[in-house]
Amino acid sequence: MRGRVTDPAAAPAWIGLGANLGDARAALAGAVQAMGRLAGTQVLRVSSLYRSAPVDATGPDYLNAVAELRTTLAPQALLQALQALELAAGRERPYRNAPRTLDLDVLLYGSQSIATPTLTVPHPRLWERAFVLLPLAELRPGWATPAQLRAVAGQRIECLGAW
C-alpha cells in the first residue's frame, strides 16, 4: 500500500468486493493490495471475509468483503480504476449477474448521492444484500438499521473471519 493520504480533499469510500470463480480469496486479497496502490488512495480497513450464496444469479458461492478507503480520486475516476482492476483479474461481463473472477462496487463515497448513467451511489441494491450489509456494518457499526439487517436475514451468508 502507498503511504497515508493526507490531502484534506480526500474522501472516504467503501468498496464491495466479491468473487466466485477461480481462486476467489487470492483475487480479493490482490484487489485490496491493488486498491492501496491507486494514486491518492489508502486502504484504511477491510472487513472479515464472508461466504454467500449468489443473489439473483447462479454459480458457486461468493467470497465477499468491504474495504474502507480514503481517496483523492473523484467518484467516476475511482469507478474507472476499479473496473481496470476487474479487467486485470480476468473479469468478463457476458450477461447480467454472471459469475465473476472479481467484482468491485463503489458502495458509498463520503456522504454523496450520485446518479449518472455509469455510477449510482449509494449502490442501488446495497440494502437488499446481506453480503454487502454485514461486512459494511462491521466497518460502520450502527450505520445499517436493525430493520435493514432483518430484511436480509434470510439470505445464506457465513462470516469466515479474518483473512
Active site residues: 91, 100, 103, 105
Q: 122: cis peptide before it, omega within 30°? A: yes
C-alpha cell at 4: 497515508
What is the Cα–Cα distance from 59 to 163, expressed in whole angstroms?
A: 23
Strand residues in 72-156 grouped as ranges (E) = 103-109, 114-115, 120-121
Strands 49-52 and 62-71: antiparallel
Contact 77, 40 (CB under 8 A): no
Give the phi and the psi of residue 150 in degrees, each rounded to 5: -65, -35
